[in-house]
């Protein structure tokens, strides 16, 4: 028998749950404490924001909201590795990436409050808006990456998908396109263990989800998604490779969805409490804080000051959201067609009269 090909999937971790460096190499960011502290602050702000957004939903001031609790490391790791000119194609909970790229908290709240003006967010205007349909953002990213290649622009796209969404045809088609056209693209599978109520082990019998990229001919690896240093380092390396003409990479980031899937979900109905408590021991924020404190770069006083500052910033953004006037009802007609069809003209007039 002749073996025609063999493959492996490497697992990358540089910062242990105890806040200690591990592995054979030390990424540059691990010793750049000023940058690391700035990213840590973004992670904490994201969590404070997330907590407040859930409170707003529970008190009837926000629509259904998708929490990012436990994802702060992978999200900020991705966002901090990207260049401004790169394009991000999110799903619907990657606030840490977007905050790194200049999106305002009030804009996130507008979106989840049902106001589409939130999709016209700050930051790079070439980034895609939130995508609730599962995995279609991957094909959007592939198309943008193809345009960069055809124009010979040194830009990349980054798309994300959940573990459940990685089973969608859109994701697999994006892998095929990225491979066939050697696209400047990074596809990140954020494996948080659950596709709403379906556990990872019932979604695929494969040892990894990263190996889906191998089937398409792409370099593929796993990272500890709770390790900010690992995510930042590996995404940055994959983007560098893509920018230099080396093609796309698939990265599976192993993390955990500590909260409910959305505020419309009750995860306690299908998840064991002990599983969640064990996952909290591996969560990303405490890990970076331990590392900074172990290296005399952070203190209890700094932590208290940061939390107070984040609370003030979040409250300020909530006020912007709450004080934003409602959009006119005619907006639902005015941004779809260059010339409004005849049947919608009468509907627009009727809606306008009701809105007076």
Nearest to 187 by CA among 207, 199, 170, 205: 170
Beta bridge mates, 159: 89, 187
State yes or no: is 95 an active-site residue. no
Q: Measured on CA atoms in the order 261, 266, 269, 275, is the torsion positive or negative?
A: positive
Record the tokens describing residue 87, joined without a space: 């394009």
| Catalytic residue list contains 233 | no
Structure-block tokens of residue 329: 């009802």
In 3D, which of 155, 144, 70, 75 has the Cα closest to residue 108? 75
- Please name the residue that has the structure tokens 């709403």: 196
DSSP letters, 151-211, are: HT-S--EEEEEETTGGGSHHHHHHHHHHHHTT-SEEEEEEE-SEETTEEHHHH--SS-STH
Using a 10 angstrom Cβ sphere, with 0-12 exposed, 13-18 middle and 19 or more buried, the burial of residue 33 is middle
Catalytic residue chosen out of the listed positions 58, 84, 117, 270: 270
The answer to whether the beta carbons of residues 102 and 82 sit under 8 Å apart is no
| 28: Cβ contacts below 8 Å, ≥ 6 apart | 233
257 part of the active site: yes
Task: Say which of 261, 287, 291, 321 is annotated catalytic.
Answer: 261
Q: How buried is 3 (Cβ within 10 angstroms: 0-12 exposed, 13-18 middle, 19+ buried)?
A: exposed
* DSSP of 250-310: EEEEE----S-SSTT--GGGTS-HHHHHHHHTT-HHHHHHHHHHHTTS--HHHHHHHHHHH
Distance CA 282, CA 56 (A): 27
What SS3 state is found at 29? helix
Buried b / exposed e along 201-237 (16+ C-beta atoms within 10 A): eebeeeebbbbbbbebebbbbbbbbbbbbbbbbbbbb
Give the active site residue among 71, 257, 287, 289.
Answer: 257
Active site residues: 257, 261, 270
């Amino acid at each position: 028998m002749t073996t025609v090909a063999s493959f492996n999937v490497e697992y990358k971790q540089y910062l242990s749950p105890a806040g200690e460096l591990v592995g054979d190499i030390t990424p540059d960011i691990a010793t750049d404490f000023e940058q690391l502290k700035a990213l840590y602050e973004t992670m904490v702000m994201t969590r404070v924001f997330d907590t407040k957004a859930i409170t707003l939903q529970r008190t009837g001031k926000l629509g259904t909201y998708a929490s990012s609790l436990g994802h702060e490391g992978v999200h900020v790791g991705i966002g901090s590795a990207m260049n401004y000119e790169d394009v991000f194609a999110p799903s619907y909970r990657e606030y840490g990436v977007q905050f790194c790229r200049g999106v305002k908290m009030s804009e996130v709240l507008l979106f989840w409050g049902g106001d589409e003006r939130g999709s016209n967010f700050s930051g790079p205007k070439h980034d895609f808006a939130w995508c609730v349909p599962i995995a279609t953002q991957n094909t959007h990213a592939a198309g943008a990456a193809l345009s960069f290649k055809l124009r010979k622009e040194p830009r990349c796209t980054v798309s994300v998908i959940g573990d459940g969404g990685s089973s969608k045809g859109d994701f697999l088609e994006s892998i095929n396109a990225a491979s066939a056209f050697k696209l400047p693209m990074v596809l990140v599978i954020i494996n948080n263990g659950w596709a709403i109520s379906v556990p990872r082990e019932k979604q695929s019998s494969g040892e990894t989800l990263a190996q889906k990229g191998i089937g398409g001919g792409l370099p593929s690896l796993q990272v500890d998604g709770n390790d900010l240093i690992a995510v930042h380092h590996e995404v940055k390396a994959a983007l560098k490779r893509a920018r230099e003409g080396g093609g796309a990479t698939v990265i599976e980031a192993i993390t955990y969805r500590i909260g409910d899937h959305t505020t419309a979900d009750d995860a306690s109905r299908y998840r064991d409490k002990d599983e969640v408590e064990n996952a909290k021991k591996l969560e990303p924020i405490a890990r970076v804080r331990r590392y900074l404190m172990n290296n005399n770069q952070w203190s209890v006083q700094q932590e208290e000051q940061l939390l107070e500052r984040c609370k003030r910033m979040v409250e300020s953004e909530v006020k912007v959201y709450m004080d934003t006037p409602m959009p006119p009802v005619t907006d639902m007609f005015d941004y779809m067609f260059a010339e409004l069809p005849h049947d919608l003209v009468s509907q627009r007039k009727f809606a306008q009269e009701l809105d007076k």
